[in-house]
């Protein structure tokens, strides 16, 4: 019996500390007492599992996985599952905390959760991926549930993986439980508009920010770091509004095209070749060069801590819209603020996904499904209202949009905790 990737991932102490640093900045401004800081600054549940999977060769490998619930005073835990070689418990804790604030800032009745498996899904066959997913779902089944903790897709996971999880838990229960996960295919209880929801939220917040700054979107240059689901849909929808996508990247490299990239054809090229690199009419550049391209809108939609104190000064954008979770470190935030670059924080910018996940969950519970226009219109309303609430808080407290977003979110969670009290 062999061990996958050695034994478990190394602990990355930086990411959760970064999330707590952001929280503490808001807690200071809100004047939270030590007890409230202790409650909101820690995770309610941290669940780690090491589980066997039979590979196609017949060998058995052991994988490490996690499910964390940060806070559930406003409702069931909600958050994605990611399959990635660099998944750590520390990272999942940070992502769960950000999910709590994301749900609060959009005022949907969820708390924050997150999960993941330390693996490289690109090295797994479809059969191995299914067996890994079903076994992991079984391992975390004591935590997840329609009324307790609802997973969703994240990095390297999709509707098929959600369908496997739903089926696995339904087999345990003896009946079909549509609401156990969101981000499912339409055929098994998914919602229209979910695939592009996070990217649509990125587009809406970018559009609203451009209005605030007096930037015309027609001809505005956009750079996308991380041309996955979020990056593609954000770029595609902005292109539909007249923007010019001049740069894009994925895990294998980056490209630049002064005349602009066709977002859909670039997606087709990536599907065929495995990367955006080599797209006709583009030139290859480094990721560092991509982030430094002069543009109106920069969308970091890859992984955490992409923008740091080492590269923040080189960024030449008017607006940064955080499609990824935690792409900007606190040190970089300070540099960007000095450069008068508007940063739309992750807990607001990429909240479209969890908002439409909430819509899917409601539809599953009611067994009544909406038209796509209803989904898009409701998302538009919530994202616009949330953006304006953050702008108002920023002006009232004379602070960055990140701190303002956290002020709104943390205050809502703290108020819910006060009203519920401490049991027993």
Q: Which helix (H) or strand (E) holds 377?
A: helix 372-397
Estimate the share of the chain in helix, then strand, then coil, as percent rounded to the nearest 5. 50, 20, 35
Query: Does residue 199 contact residue 237 with C-beta atoms inside 8 Å?
Result: yes
DSSP state of 67: E
Q: Residue 106 phi/psi, 5° resolution? A: -90, -5
Query: Does residue 85 contact residue 45 with C-beta atoms inside 8 Å?
Result: no
Dist. CA 397–CA 403, nearest whole Å: 9
Q: Which two tokens stand for residue 34?
A: 């030590």
114 noted as active-site residue: yes
Dist. CA 230–CA 235, nearest whole Å: 8
Residue for token pair 């202790």: 38
Query: Does residue 353 contact residue 379 with C-beta atoms inside 8 Å?
Result: no
Beta-bridge mates of residue 301 = none
Catalytic residue among 93, 102, 114, 184: 114
Query: Does residue 322 contact residue 105 with C-beta atoms inside 8 Å?
Result: no
Dist. CA 104–CA 406, nearest whole Å: 9
What do you get for the CA distance between the two ends of the chain, in Å?
46
Query: Does residue 265 contact residue 192 with C-beta atoms inside 8 Å?
Result: no
How far is CA 378 from its chain centroid? 20
Q: Residue 275 phi/psi, 5° resolution? A: -160, 160
Tell me the C-alpha to C-alpha distance, in Å, between residue 402 and each of 80, 102, 259, 345: 22, 12, 33, 5
Q: What is the SS3 assignment for 350?
A: coil
Residues that are catalytic: 114
């Amino acid at each position: 019996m062999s061990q996958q990737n050695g034994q478990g991932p190394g602990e990355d102490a930086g990411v959760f500390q970064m999330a707590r640093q952001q929280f503490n900045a808001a807690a200071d401004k809100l004047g939270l007492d030590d007890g409230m800081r202790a409650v909101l600054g820690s995770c309610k549940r941290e669940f780690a599992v090491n589980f066997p999977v039979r590979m196609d060769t017949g060998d058995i490998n052991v994988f490490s996985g996690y499910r964390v619930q940060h806070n559930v005073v406003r409702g069931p835990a909600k958050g994605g599952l990611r399959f990635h070689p660099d998944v750590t418990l520390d990272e999942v804790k940070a992502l769960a905390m950000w999910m709590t604030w994301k749900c609060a800032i959009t005022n949907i009745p969820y708390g924050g959760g997150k999960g993941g498996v330390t693996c490289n899904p690109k090295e797994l066959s479809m059969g191995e991926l299914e067996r890994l997913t079903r076994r992991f779902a079984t391992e975390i089944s004591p935590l997840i549930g329609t009324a307790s903790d609802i997973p969703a897709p994240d990095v390297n996971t999709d509707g098929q993986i959600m369908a496997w999880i739903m089926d696995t838990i339904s087999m345990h229960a003896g009946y079909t439980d549509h609401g156990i996960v969101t981000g499912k295919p339409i055929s098994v209880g998914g919602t229209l508009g979910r695939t592009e929801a996070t990217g649509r939220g990125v587009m809406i917040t970018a559009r609203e920010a451009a209005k605030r700054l007096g930037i015309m979107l027609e001809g505005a240059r956009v750079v996308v770091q991380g041309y996955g689901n979020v990056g593609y849909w954000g770029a595609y929808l902005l292109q539909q509004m007249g923007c010019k996508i001049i740069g894009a990247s994925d895990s294998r490299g980056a490209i630049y095209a002064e005349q602009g990239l066709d977002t859909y054809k670039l997606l087709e090229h990536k599907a065929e070749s495995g990367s955006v690199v080599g797209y006709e009419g583009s030139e290859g550049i480094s990721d560092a060069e991509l982030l430094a391209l002069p543009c109106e809108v920069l969308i970091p939609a890859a992984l955490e801590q992409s923008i740091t104190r080492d590269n923040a000064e080189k960024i030449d954008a008017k607006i940064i819209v955080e499609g990824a979770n935690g792409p900007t470190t606190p040190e970089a935030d300070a540099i960007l603020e000095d450069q008068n670059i508007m940063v739309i924080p992750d807990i607001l910018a990429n909240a479209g996904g969890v908002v439409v996940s909430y819509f899917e969950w409601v539809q599953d519970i009611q067994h009544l499904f909406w038209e796509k226009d209803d989904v898009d219109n409701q998302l538009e309303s919530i994202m616009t209202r949330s953006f304006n609430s953050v702008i108002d808080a920023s002006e009232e407290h004379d602070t960055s949009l990140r701190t303002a977003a956290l002020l709104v979110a943390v205050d809502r969670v703290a108020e819910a905790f006060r009203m519920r009290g401490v049991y027993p």
